[in-house]
Amino acid sequence: MASDDAPSRKRGPRPLTPIEDLSPRRAKLEYSRLAEELAEYDRRYYQEDSPAVSDADYDALRQRYEALEKAFPELSSDVSLTKKVGSAPAEKFAKIKHVVPMLSLGNVFAEEEVHEFVARVRRFLGFSDEAPLFFTAEPKIDGLSCSLRYEKGALVYAATRGDGYEGEDITANIRTLEEIPQRLHGESWPDVLEARGEVYMRREDFFALNERQAAANKPLFANPRNSAAGSLRQLDPKVTASRPLRFFAYSWGEVSVMPSDTQYGMVQALASFGLPTNPLTKICVSAEEMLAHFRDIEARRATLGYDIDGVVYKVDDIGLQIRLGFVSRAPRWAVAHKFPAEQAKTIVRGIDINVGRTGALTPIARLEPVTVGGVVVSNATLHNEDEIARKDIRVGDTVVVQRAGDVIPQIVEVVLDKRPEGTKPYEFPHVCPACGSAAVREIDEKTGEADVVRRCTGSLVCPAQAIERLKHFASRNAMDIEGLGDKQIEAFFEEGLIRTASEIFTLAERNRASLTKLENREGYGETSVRNLFVAIDARRSVPINRFLFALGIRHVGETNAKRLARHFADFASLRDTAREAAPGSEARERIESIEGIGGVVAEALYDFFAEKHNEDEIEALLAHVTLEPMPQIESASPVAGKTVVFTGALERLTREEAKAQAERFGAKISGSVSKKTDLVVAGPGAGSKLAKAKELGVEVISEEEWFTRTNQ
């Protein structure tokens, strides 16, 4: 929208060009914009616990993004929220590595999306519409995910999900839950069983707990989910024991011998071992049956006594689950169908602008506080400049607010018949509120289209960006420095103690030489300062992928950081290649050939490492931080760490399935053959890639040999 356009409340979303009508150049432009927008939503949700977009809106963006990637595979960049899992475990608990990752689910909201999920599973497996395919449907419990490990029938430890790969040790607290057996029932259980499920609190127990909190002049919990999470993560197990927590088992991790070959059979087995399971789990044979069960559960939702926020559908056959595999954070064989959001009306008292670490200006509505779904909401995201204009949201308006997915506050619409007289359309600022620099929407010279985000141009002088970059660097999914949270970073920055990431690692030394010690400041003490320095020292050795993600390179989210770390032997190799990755160079081609890493990411890496001030800061960081290799997935596999290329027609697997399987074994997938390729899997009809492999002397095997090598 041009800056002189008058907002119109009848204006709808800007129409999207059909993907089949896009040129490669236009597709790359839109893909890059979507990647940036999704990355910002990712940061807000996972780093700040401040979601900025609804599940439904995000899902629409992600679907468009994935459709572009499918139509233009050369783009192949991956920075969306679908590639993340939870957050890193807190330092106050010991950590437990999950033998089998605890990954999360993708979400759908509309009935047609459930039909598409079923169709997508069939397409992936190569099943016809008539081929039998069974699913389970179960309530999605609104609680805290937990894994229970039993060895020879005895509970040995319990852990939270954490970041999906490493969780918090909550064994002592879990032992206080009466519903969880200390020893499995019967004798048919496997020697090793990791039972997974959800810790939750019934609504009546939640209300009783809040009554006790109020009587003791203690803070109230916002909802049963928060109270369950807070109760389970107490340092004192006696506090947990005093809270009425419950548990539903619905999945598993490591199992020495599987009691069943179906999802439903496994849940029944868990129940036979004495673990509580949800009685509303049902076998369905079609999307229509799944939706009928969804409607039935939704109708009974208020009478269940515990909070649920949707229904989870899973392919029942475990063999098919293994074939389907995962897309980064989420399984292809399961999806969560969320309930519609709850709504309420309130008044917009003001519109604030938040400046993110990339300079993006994000509008936030300040609302007259209103209760929505049992939670008091006082702020809501407005997404961006165009969204405000499209909905014509003005200060003073009465608006409908909903918590999408029962979590994220957003404004649905303006109640026009309650608009006060004299209100004016909101004028989005054209200067940065943090530093006064110009805030612009970049214009693509070839298309003439404006970027959806207005961005501060003062990246080197803007305190908002500097602070946000430091917050990102220290955040849980990046360097994970416990005790160096947002408030501490803001205070240290304002006082000049930490202005760059490298200064974090010199803070202790500078504090020893200072006349005004940290421990003498208000709010600090010897113990808290000592703990902070211990946490900083603990991060002087980190995996390459965490360090790479912490640098805040545009388009390099957690998943892309992992892909780059797996591909390059060490950080120096990645850095040298990125420095030389000018357009058209061999280094650029090498980066773009990495599966999931396309031209947008390659360009971002080249631009980042070409900046001298970035290089100077990296040198300063590497003087204090030692980089470790990233742990490989299934490192015992003979193909772990190898670069693999699939070419030709595969007969037992679809191409997508083959790539997913290889990644599960820790292999690095490439779209082209080079001197760096370790293995080419060639099916009938293999052409130029096979010829290139033979020319370079790269090992070539058949699809059957691939199965033999990976012991499938």
Would you say residue 538 has pLDDT above 90?
A: yes
**How many whole angstroms separate alpha carbon 660 and alpha carbon 325?**
6
Q: How confident is the model at residue 48 (pLDDT cuts 50, 70, 90)?
A: very low
Q: What is the mean pLDDT of residues 494-514?
A: 91
Is a pLDDT exceeding 80 seen at residue 218?
no
Tens digits of per-residue pLDDT, 67-92? Answer: 887 788 777 644 443 444 443 444 56
Percent of the chain with pLDDT over 90: 42
Token pair 């020495």: residue = 256
Residues 6+ apart with CB under 8 A from 628: 541, 542, 543, 544
pLDDT at 33 over 70: yes
* Residue that the structure tokens 């496997």 belong to: 190
Quick one: what percent of the chain has pLDDT higher than 70? Answer: 88
**CA-based nearest residue to 336, from 375, 304, 294:** 294
Segment of 6-15, 185-194, 477-486 carrying the highest mean pLDDT: 185-194
> For the ranges 129-143, 245-259, 320-334, 373-387, which has the lowest average pLDDT?
373-387
- Cβ-contact 681, 708 below 8 angstroms: no
Dihedral sign for Cα atoms in the order 566, 569, 570, 571: negative
What pLDDT does 297 receive? 93
Task: Output the pLDDT for position 54.
Answer: 54
Q: CA–CA separation, 605 vs 581, rounded Å? A: 8
By annotation, the residues acting in catalysis are 140
pLDDT in tens, 131-188: 999 999 999 998 889 999 999 999 999 999 888 888 889 999 999 999 999 999 998 9
**49: three-class secondary structure by DSSP:** coil
Give helix 571-579 / helix 599-610 axis angle, nearest 10°.
90
* CA dihedral sign, ordered 560, 566, 570, 575: negative
CA 566 to each of CA 37, 276, 329, 609: distance values in angstroms, whole numbers, following the listed order: 26, 40, 17, 19
Query: pLDDT digits over 418-444, tens only?
Result: 999 999 999 999 999 988 888 888 655
1-45+61-67+341-456 CATH: 2.40.50.140
* C-alpha distance across the termini of the chain, in Å: 54
Query: Residue 6's pLDDT is what?
Result: 31
List the structure tokens of 496: 């000049």
Closest CA to 137 of 330, 12, 308: 308
Q: How confident is the model at residue 558 (pLDDT cuts 50, 70, 90)?
A: confident
pLDDT value for 44: 55
pLDDT tens per residue, range 664-692: 787 888 888 988 899 999 988 888 889 99
Distance, in Å, from the CA atom of 480 to the CA atom of 634, rounded to the nearest integer, reads: 24
Contacts of 23 (CB under 8 A, 6+ apart): none
The Cβ of residue 598 has, within 10 Å, a number of other Cβ atoms equal to 27
DSSP type of residue 136: E
Measured CA to CA, the distance from residue 189 to residue 10 in angstroms comes to 62
Task: Write down the domain spans for the chain.
Answer: 1-45+61-67+341-456, 95-338, 481-538, 543-628, 643-709
Crossing angle for the helix pair 655-664 and 111-125, to the nearest 10 degrees: 90
Q: Burial of 398 by CB count in 10 Å (0-12 exposed, 13-18 middle, 19+ buried)?
A: middle
CA dihedral 560, 562, 564, 567 (to 10 degrees): -140
Q: What is the pLDDT of residue 3?
A: 34
Per-residue pLDDT of 473-495, as tens digits, reads 999 889 999 889 888 998 999 88
Q: Rounded mean pLDDT of 596-612?
A: 83
- Contact (Cβ atoms closer than 8 angstroms) between residue 383 and residue 57: yes
Beta bridge mates, 154: 151, 183
Rounded CA-CA distance 192/178 in Å is 22
pLDDT band for position 45 (50/70/90)?
A: very low
pLDDT of 386 above 50: yes
Topology (CATH) of 543-628? DNA polymerase; domain 1 (1.10.150)
Domain at 95-338: CATH architecture: 2-Layer Sandwich (3.30)
Q: Which of 602 and 253 is assigned the larger pLDDT?
A: 253
- Closest by Cα among 17, 49, 233, 69 to 595: 69
Average pLDDT over the chain reads: 84
For residue 492, give the nearest of 473, 470, 472, 469 by alpha carbon: 470
- Distance CA(322)–CA(254), nearest Å, equals 14
pLDDT tens for each residue of 266-317: 999 999 999 999 999 999 999 999 999 999 998 888 788 898 889 999 999 9
Instruction: Say which residue the tokens 């081609």 belong to.
Output: 589
User: In 103-191, where do the E strands start and end?
Assistant: 107-108, 135-141, 144-151, 154-160, 166-168
Q: What's at 106, amino acid-wise? A: G
Please say if the pLDDT value at position 656 is more than 80. no
- What digits encode the pLDDT tens for the residues 195-213? 999 999 998 898 888 888 8
pTM, two decimal places: 0.51
Question: What was the pLDDT predicted at 46?
Answer: 36
* Domain 643-709, CATH homologous superfamily name and number: BRCT domain (3.40.50.10190)
The answer to whether 58 touches 42, Cβ cutoff 8 Å, is no
Which pLDDT value is given to residue 10?
31
| Phi, psi of 300, deg, nearest 5 | -95, 0
